[in-house]
Amino acid sequence: MSKDAFDPFNPNSFPHLTPEAYKSMIDGIIFHENLHKEYNMAKQVSAKKQEKIDDARIEKQYGLRCGGIQIDIMDISKVFREGQKAIDNGADDATLGQAIFDFVQTIRKN
């Protein structure tokens, strides 16, 4: 950084401010940056995007646990519905996979 570049974190850039005013200004900058980070982390995911995320989780667990098991094509939506119920109950991936596997055992063809 060049010698004459403006640096808000250099107290010499603001000779007209008292130390208390400078500290208050820096605290405000840091607070604003942290608030912005927290807002971005807490931003809500749209319902459509959350549905895609849930569907991807169900597909992955179905593929891992039930690959090779034949089911009727009309039952695919039932598998997704069962997976969505598990997700709505707060299931992690292992519990989701087990719920899907248990359901597929009831509808399997082979």
What does the pLDDT look like over 80-89, one tens digit per residue?
999 999 999 9
The sign of the torsion formed by the CA atoms of 13, 17, 18, 23 equals negative
Instruction: Give the pTM.
Output: 0.60
In this predicted structure, what is the pLDDT of residue 75? 95
Looking at per-residue pLDDT, the higher value among 11 and 2 belongs to 11
DSSP letter (8 states) at residue 95: H
Helix 93-107 and helix 76-88: axis angle, to 10°? 150
Q: How confident is the model at residue 39 (pLDDT cuts 50, 70, 90)?
A: low
Q: Indicate the average pLDDT of the chain.
A: 84
